[in-house]
């Protein structure tokens, strides 16, 4: 049995295939058939279902099949410099292509940056879950975490990459809804090729461990090219030298087949960004070439779906407007031609009837924005002067040929997919599947059911939790002061005041066994929050605060401070060697007790549902962060020191989790911040339901810690049943 040893040189998931329930195939097929916009929306809006994992497989396979960049050779570590040189060449080429677009008239430039927005506003999504139980404490992954931490505004959503770019878009006059909004792509007037490109990046976000070579190559290229900074005029948030260092470090760790995948990913990422730059050039040319008739046609098309019955008495070309717009064969060019010669556009003293109608005081005032109204006025003036030729509308087809090729390739069944209904086997097998969830998406339904069972079971402590030794999950009505008071009471009454130094130290074997009982949970430290703050979800104060706690658990990218590194150091000091959790060999390890898998299985299950179980994760986080304090931790340190074992893991938690300003206090503060936002958005009456779910999450942690209390309650319930 191969043992895991530091440093962690992980570079790609040990498994390449993925298991899916057969029902997921039809569901994914329906999304793909609906087109690239549907795929983009599903990938950005859903991070919890089996279907999105299968969609990601389809998209990544389709792009690989259609790739026009050359396949890579086995790049060496020193070739990071050569990759950087090639990327710099392409950057100069793209700059030459796009620089004129920055100087284009506002209407054209707005169209260009809006077209890029579906990519710009998901920038960095490929790092969303690159840090996870399967990849930690990898040195390469921790380098990427440093970049993610910077892109996420060091835990402040207002300073995050997507916010910086969103503000820049607004400065240029482009106002778009959130990327998860159903009309986001429509408002951006996204071309199908743009949506497919976005779907590629979002697919990497769903499968970063399996496709880590592609993540590394893509991350370097997109960040180093800086197309979005060029278009928006923003400053890069990552240092060029550090980007190159991350690439070089990864190549130094990777075996030849993985280095080949990185080289291929780099070549294909360069080709994709060049392709999209050309798309932007084509989009700009199309918009710049729009005649006044065509500009008016775009305005009509945008507003026609909202024209109501109030227009039934307005006739154009002999037909009521309502009939025109309800006609499934509506001919836009013919309508604009008819509208030009209609009485509404006939010149009159004081302006034509239509222009008067859209001005202040007119029946159509407020329907069209200032730019649209100005376009209509310019159009009417040109009509009156007889300056317009016949109406000719040319559709925007930028990127459509490439998009059609991608659609066909993405529709094809991806390789390395196995169809199999999930079965819940023993705890070891379930743990293996949850850790390697990218390879076992069919286990998601089992994980959801497992999390729900644990949460429901924990409500027992709402009544009896006050008798806990280290926790108090008994129910109380929420207020900020009540929560802080409960936290303080737990800290002093249960964790600090009972502390007395041990007068008798257990023998070595007993101390080692005690550490083994905690080890499995420590090996997934932070897992409960590893999916918090994903693309489209890093907006609330609580998102930033919880993400910051997770980043701290991972050492903020410093692998020597990573808590999972620390627990392996402790185990090594005791001579305990086990394979990494991600490895199949862990199924056969005989060091860690079998009866203690429940805590880790519950935590991993809960972590997979950061959207639907967000409230419960906040409560669970409070429980686990307070657990790092007080008597138990101090006693463990005393025992470890006595026998000469490493105490780094215990020391780190005792300091970083402090109740003054550390994770314990932050965990209470983020709950208060979240419930404040709930009250602001949904009203005070919505708070109690959210609070109940949060406290259920806290109780679910206490349930695993208070073994004697829970066992006693179970015996009591059994006795009641017998009687």
* 3 state SS of 320: strand
User: What does the pLDDT look like over 671-719, one tens digit per residue?
Assistant: 999 999 999 999 999 999 999 999 999 999 999 999 999 999 988 766 5
Q: Which two tokens stand for residue 157?
A: 């959503």
Number of Cα atoms under 13 Å in the Cβ half of residue 453: 11
- Is 395 contained in some domain? no
Distances (CA, A) of 718 to 598, 713, 715, 721: 21, 9, 5, 5
Q: CB under 8 Å to 50, separation ≥6 — which residues?
A: 20, 21, 24, 441, 442, 444, 445
Tell me the average pLDDT across 402-420: 97
Asked if the structure places residue 195 within a domain, the reply is yes
Q: Give the Cα separation of 103 and 85 in Å (integer).
A: 28
pLDDT of residue 75: 66
Residues 472, 558 within the same domain: yes
Do 133 and 203 reside in the same domain of the chain?
yes
Within 574-723, where are the H helices? 597-607, 614-626, 631-642, 648-656, 663-682, 687-705, 707-722
Q: Dump pLDDT digits (tens) for 453-478.
A: 999 999 999 999 999 999 999 999 99
Whether residue 506 sits in one domain with residue 366: no
pLDDT band at 721 (very low <50, low <70, confident <90, very high): very low
pLDDT at position 441 over 80: yes
How far apart are the C-alpha atoms of 603 and 523, rounded to whole Å? 12
Same-domain pairing of 276 and 296: no
Question: Tokens in use for 6?
Answer: 């530091």
Task: Measure Cα distances from 218 to 158, 204, 272, 600 in Å.
Answer: 25, 9, 10, 33
Task: Say if residue 197 is in the same domain as residue 239.
Answer: yes
Domain of 626? 427-722
Which own/partner pairs from 143-146 qualify as long-range (CB within 8 Å, at least 24 positions apart)?
A: 143/245, 143/246, 143/249, 143/250, 143/557, 144/215, 144/216, 144/219, 144/246, 144/557, 145/551, 145/554, 145/556, 145/557, 146/242, 146/556, 146/557, 146/558
Is residue 13 a part of any domain in this protein?
A: no
At residue 69, the pLDDT reads 52
Please list, residue by residue across 306-327, b when 16 or more beta carbons sit within 10 angstroms of its beta carbon and e when fewer do.
ebeeebeebbbeeeebbebbee
Whether residue 35 lies inside any domain: the answer is yes
Do the Cβ atoms of 240 and 224 come closer than 8 Å? yes
* Residues 536-584: tens digit of each pLDDT: 999 999 999 999 999 999 999 999 999 999 999 999 999 999 999 999 9
Q: What is the pLDDT of residues 135-182, one digit of tens each?
A: 999 999 999 999 999 999 999 999 999 999 999 999 999 999 999 999
Q: Rounded to the nearest 5 degrees, what angle is found at the Cα of 250, between the Cα atoms of 244 and 252? A: 100
409 pLDDT tier (thresholds 50, 70, 90): very high
Reported confidence tier of residue 310, pLDDT bands at 50, 70, 90: low
Q: What is the pLDDT of residue 619?
A: 98
Q: Lowest-confidence range among 295-304, 433-442, 453-462, 524-533?
A: 295-304
Vertex 411, ends 405 and 415: CA angle to 5°?
Answer: 110
What does the pLDDT average to over 585-612? 94
Tell me: do 357 and 474 sit in the same domain: no
- Residue 200 backbone dihedrals phi, psi, to 5 degrees: -65, -50
Is the pTM value of this prediction over 0.75? yes
Judge if 335 and 410 occupy the same domain: no
**What does the alpha-carbon distance between residue 543 and residue 160 come to, in Å, rounded to a whole number?**
12
Token pair belonging to 394 = 């040319």
| DSSP-derived secondary structure letter, 317 | T
- DSSP-derived letter for residue 238 is S
- Average pLDDT of the chain is 94
Q: Looking at the structure, do residues 537 and 663 belong to the same domain, yes or no?
A: yes
pLDDT band at 72 (very low <50, low <70, confident <90, very high): low
What does the pLDDT read at residue 71?
Answer: 58
The answer to whether residues 371 and 410 belong to one domain is no
Examine the domain organization and report whether 126 and 239 are in the same domain.
yes
Structural domain count, the chain: 3
Answer yes or no: is 390 within a domain: no
Could you give the CA distance from residue 96 to residue 87 in angstroms, rounded to a whole number?
A: 14
DSSP letter assigned to residue 72: P
Angle in degrees, 0-180, between the axes of helices 631-642 and 648-656, rounded to the nearest 10: 150
The interaxial angle of helices 212-225 and 79-102, nearest 10 deg, is 50
Instruction: With respect to residue 651, please indicate whether it lies within any of the assigned structural domains.
Output: yes
The verdict on residue 641 lying in a domain is yes
Single out the residue of 497, 514, 528, 515 nearest to residue 631, CA to CA: 497
Residues 165 and 314 in one domain: no
Whether the pLDDT of residue 505 is over 90: the answer is yes
b/e per residue 546-555 (b: at least 16 CB within 10 A): bbbbbbbbbb
331-369 pLDDT tens trace: 988 898 889 888 888 888 778 999 999 999 998 899 999
CA distance 721 to 291: 82
For residue 99, give the CATH number of its domain.
1.20.910
- Better pLDDT: 451 or 74: 451
Residue 312 has pLDDT above 90, yes or no: no
286 and 298 assigned to the same domain: no
Quick check: is 99 in a domain? yes
How high is the pLDDT of residue 207?
98
């Amino acid at each position: 049995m191969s043992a895991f040893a530091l440093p962690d040189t992980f570079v790609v998931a040990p498994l390449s295939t993925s298991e899916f329930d057969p029902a997921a195939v039809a569901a994914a097929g329906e999304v793909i058939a609906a087109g690239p916009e549907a795929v983009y929306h599903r990938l950005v809006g859903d991070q919890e279902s089996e279907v999105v994992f299968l969609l990601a497989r389809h998209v990544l396979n389709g792009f690989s099949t259609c790739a026009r960049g050359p396949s890579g050779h086995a790049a060496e570590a020193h070739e990071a410099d050569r990759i950087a040189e090639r990327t710099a060449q392409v950057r100069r080429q793209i700059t030459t292509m796009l620089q004129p677009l920055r100087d284009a008239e506002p209407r054209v430039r707005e169209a260009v940056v809006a077209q890029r927005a579906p990519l710009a506003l998901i920038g960095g999504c490929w790092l969303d879950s690159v840090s996870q139980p399967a990849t930690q404490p990898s040195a390469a992954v921790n380098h990427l975490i440093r970049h993610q931490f910077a892109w996420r505004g060091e835990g402040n959503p207002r300073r995050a990459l997507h916010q910086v770019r969103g503000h820049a878009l607004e400065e240029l006059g482009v106002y778009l809804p959130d990327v998860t909004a159903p009309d986001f792509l429509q408002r951006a007037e996204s071309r199908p090729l743009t949506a497919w490109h976005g779907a590629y990046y979002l697919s990497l976000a769903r499968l970063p461990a399996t496709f880590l070579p592609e993540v590394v190559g893509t991350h370097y290229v997109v960040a180093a090219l800086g197309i979005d900074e060029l278009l928006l005029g923003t400053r890069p948030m990552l240092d060029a030298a550090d980007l190159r260092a991350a690439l070089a470090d990864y190549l130094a760790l990777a075996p030849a087949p993985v280095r080949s995948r990185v080289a291929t990913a780099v070549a294909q990422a360069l080709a994709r960004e060049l392709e999209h730059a050309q798309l932007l050039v084509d989009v700009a040319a199309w918009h710049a070439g729009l005649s006044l008739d065509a500009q008016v046609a775009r305005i009509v098309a945008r507003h026609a779906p909202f024209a109501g019955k109030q227009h039934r008495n307005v006739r154009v070309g002999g037909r009521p407007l309502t009939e025109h717009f309800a006609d499934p064969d509506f001919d836009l060019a013919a309508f604009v031609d008819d509208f030009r010669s209609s009485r509404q556009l006939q010149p009159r003293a004081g302006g034509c009837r239509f222009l008067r109608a859209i001005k202040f005081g007119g029946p159509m005032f407020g329907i069209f924005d200032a730019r649209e109204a100005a376009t209509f006025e310019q159009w009417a003036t040109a009509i009156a002067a007889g300056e317009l030729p016949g109406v000719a509308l040319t559709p925007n087809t930028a990127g459509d040929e490439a998009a059609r090729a991608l659609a066909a390739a993405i529709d094809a069944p991806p390789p390395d997919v196995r169809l199999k209904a999930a079965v819940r086997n023993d705890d070891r097998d379930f743990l293996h599947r949850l850790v390697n969830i990218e390879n076992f998406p069919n286990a998601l339904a089992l994980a959801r059911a497992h999390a729900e069972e644990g949460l429901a079971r924990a409500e027992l402590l709402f009544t009896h939790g006050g008798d806990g030794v280290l926790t108090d999950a008994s129910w109380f009505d929420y207020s900020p002061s009540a929560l802080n008071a409960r936290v303080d009471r737990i800290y002093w009454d249960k964790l600090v005041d009972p502390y007395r130094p041990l007068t008798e130290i257990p023998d070595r074997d007993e101390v080692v066994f005690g550490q083994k009982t905690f080890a499995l949970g420590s090996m997934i430290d932070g897992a409960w929050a590893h999916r918090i703050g994903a693309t489209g979800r890093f907006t609330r104060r609580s998102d930033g605060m919880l993400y910051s706690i997770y980043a701290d658990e991972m050492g903020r990218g410093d692998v020597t401070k990573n808590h999972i590194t620390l627990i392996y150091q402790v185990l090594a000091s005791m001579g305990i060697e086990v394979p990494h959790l991600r490895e199949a060999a862990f199924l056969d390890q005989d060091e860690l007790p079998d009866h203690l898998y429940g805590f880790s299985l519950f935590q991993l299950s809960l972590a997979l549902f950061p959207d639907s179980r967000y409230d419960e994760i906040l409560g669970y986080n409070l429980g686990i962060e307070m657990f790092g304090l007080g008597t138990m931790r101090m006693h463990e340190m005393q025992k470890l020191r006595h026998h000469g074992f490493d105490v780094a893991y215990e020391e780190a938690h005792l300091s970083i989790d402090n109740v003054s300003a550390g994770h314990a206090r932050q965990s209470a503060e983020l709950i208060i911040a979240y419930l404040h936002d709930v009250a602001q958005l949904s009203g005070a009456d919505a708070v109690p339901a959210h609070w109940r779910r949060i406290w259920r999450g806290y109780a679910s942690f206490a349930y695993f810690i208070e073994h004697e209390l829970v066992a006693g309650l179970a015996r009591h319930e059994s006795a009641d049943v017998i009687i």
